[in-house]
Amino acid sequence: MMNGHRKSDRPVVATKPANKAGAPVAEQVERRGLAEGKPPRQNTNRVLDRAFVQSALGRIRQAAVKDKRQRFTSLMHHIYNLSILREAYYGLKRDAAPGIDGETWRQYGENLESNLADLSARLRRGAYRAKAVRRVFITKDDGRLRPLGVTALEDKIVQRATVEVMNAIYETDFLGYSYGYRPGKGQHNALDALYAGLLTRRVNWVLDGDLSSFLDAAS
């Protein structure tokens, strides 16, 4: 049963509760404790970055909650902020395949601060240009080939920073039964909700759909 406009339906997820719009998104990187004695500079910077990012995104989130009709016209300075770019870098998968330029996560991190400063400056003055996406094919269970696009690492940083800023706005509007491309949610949570719904509610039909080449067509 669905509730009124902008209200989530009653949750049926068996394993995970729906995200709370007011809570910061959990960072998807490994956790490391600070060393005893004088903390390393890198760890200190990470702590400060997290505090800044949570505060900045929290202000955006509060503004989005306060006025649903508000239009955000000045967000770029958040995206090219060094703290947000740095957290975006650390949030990436470290063993992911490189893009068309061949640069890996570790290679970019060898001169991380200078690389991020240069990236931030290009974003600020409008000189940043995304690289071409490397196309690869993987074999599906039925033998067909599935095309995948592998993005250059620096472009992944910009994309992740942009997503973090936009999530602060969009997450306040998404309904509880929306699972696609959301922080802390995914297809397995959707399957859990479907399974729980089938067990606890009277269901007459289930619609299963698949859009052919959706991502290729959408882009």
14-47: pLDDT as tens digits: 444 444 444 444 434 444 444 444 445 667 777 8
> Does one domain contain both 133 and 146?
yes
List pLDDT tens digits, range 103-131. Answer: 999 999 999 999 999 999 999 999 999 99
> Does one domain contain both 83 and 104?
yes
List pLDDT tens digits, range 133-153. Answer: 999 999 988 888 888 899 999
Average pLDDT over all residues of the chain: 81
pLDDT at position 81, please? 94
> Does one domain contain both 142 and 118?
yes
pLDDT at position 40, please? 54
Question: Distance of CA 184 to CAs 25, 47, 64, 145, 189, Å?
Answer: 8, 21, 20, 29, 9
- Residue 213 included in any domain: no
Domain that holds residue 134: 41-173
Q: Is the pTM of this model over 0.85?
A: no
Question: Distance of CA 79 to CAs 83, 114, 219, Å?
Answer: 9, 17, 22
